[in-house]
Amino acid sequence: MSDMSASPAGPPTVMHVDMDAFYASVEIRRRPELRGKPVVVGALGPRGVVLSATHDVRPYGVRAGQPVGRARRLCPQAVFLPPDHDEYATVSANVMEVFRAVTPVVEPLSLDEAFLDLSGSLRRLGGDPAHIGEQIRARVADEQGITCSVGVASTKFVAKLAGATAKPDGLRVVPDDEVLEFLHPLPVDRLWGVGERTEAALTRLGLHTVGDIAHTPAATLCRALGQAAGRHLHALAWGRDERPVVPSEPERSIGTEETFPADVDDPAVVRRTLLRLAGRTGARLRAAGLAGRTVTLKVRFSDFTTLTRSKTLRDATDVGRDIYATACALHAGLGLERARLRLVGVRVEHLVPGDRPRQMVLGERARGWSEVERAADAVRDRFGGRALAPASLLADPGRDGRSRGPGTRR
């Protein structure tokens, strides 16, 4: 008798969708001449890291999170490109809309992957999760020009693993009665929570596969790894994962940040960076249908000390020009004109729906920068994230070569 709890009846309803080499795929989409060539996307400065790489560079040892310098040494023939986060955010939003056309229960994990709960949509869509997965893959390829891999199972953990085994550009469904057959031959490092130290501890116990862990008493694992880790791995080894798919919560703040390739003490460079970050933040607010009342500036010094300063506006805004003016005022108030900075960031908080009426000031024009920036959004949506930018940024050689932080915090 197995240690696995009773499986739910019916077809599996948890789907994991992951874009294949997302950033690199988006770059290849708009540069068709790169198709078939090894491509690496990452901040190209001395502190840059690999953000995405096509699958044909994996055999050389190139991985996401690796220093770009090491990636160049491992695969010098690859094409190295700076990231365009505006474009990736746009494509991601379009992909998420494809998912939400299938089910409203979508839990994004990042720009390029999400869990979907099909339980409420399965009957309406024909009852076959494999067919639904193929429809999603076809729509993403047709509408966005990139590929994705899909895994389907009755738990998040197994669905994610199933999709990983289907990469690139594939689909795998693991029915309930095949979960253990699928899981048990896998190496232990495929379990969530198994890093190098845990793997070493399991190896010392003679445990090399998921099946080895499953057939080891939970008490033994707890003595070796601790109560929480031992019970967690034992449950996963039997395919147990009780976590539901949780739809994304409304954004609490939206913003972005940049780490400079080298520490900066030039106020003009800082102001140009703030202009770029404010514009990107405004565009993301508008894309999300949101506006915010509080603008927060973040600065990190060369010694990694970090300061934040905030200002709450009279009215909520989604206008990059307003965000930029506020961020510059906050920066000036710090008195850091010649301080050496490693990072700056801009964030807007206290979000409200962007279509709420706004009290106008006497003499203020009814139409202004908001309409200008929305028109610019439409141009970038049609021609790409680099199609339009403030003139002061066009000659900035580093504007696409710096590493950037996450765009949305939940």
Q: Looking up tokens 């709890």, which residue turns up?
A: 5
Q: Which residues contact 159 (CB under 8 A, 6 or more apart)?
A: 12, 14, 15, 16, 115, 151, 152, 153, 174
Q: State the chain's mean pLDDT as an integer.
A: 85
The answer to whether 320 touches 277, Cβ cutoff 8 Å, is no
Tens-place pLDDT, residues 214-261: 999 999 999 999 999 999 999 999 999 999 999 876 667 888 888 888
Select 9-183's CATH number: 3.30.470.20, 3.40.50.10540, 1.10.10.10, 3.30.70.270: 3.30.70.270
Cα Rg of the chain (Å, integer): 24
| Confidence label for 309 from pLDDT (cuts 50, 70 and 90) | very high
Alpha-carbon gap, residue 392 to 403, rounded angstroms: 20
Could you tell me the residue ranges of all domains in the chain?
9-183, 184-237, 253-409
**Partners of 148 in the β-ladder:** 19
Select 184-237's CATH number: 3.40.1390.10, 1.10.150.20, 1.10.3130.10, 2.70.150.10: 1.10.150.20
The answer to whether 367 touches 323, Cβ cutoff 8 Å, is no
Alpha-carbon gap, residue 225 to 210, rounded angstroms: 15
- Let me know if 113 is a catalytic residue: yes
Q: Is residue 112 marked as binding?
A: yes
pTM score: 0.66
Spot the catalytic one: 27, 87, 107, 113: 113
Select 253-409's CATH number: 3.20.20.150, 3.50.50.60, 3.30.1490.100, 3.30.590.10: 3.30.1490.100
Alpha-carbon gap, residue 181 to 23, rounded angstroms: 34
Tens-place pLDDT, residues 357-392: 555 444 444 446 676 666 766 655 555 555 555 655
DSSP string covering 262-328: EEE--HHHHHHHHHHHHHHHHHHHHHHTEEEEEEEEEEEETTS-EEEEEEEEEEEE--HHHHHHHHH
Strand locations in 86-183, DSSP E?
106-110, 113-117, 148-153, 171-173
253-409 shares the fold of 9-183: no
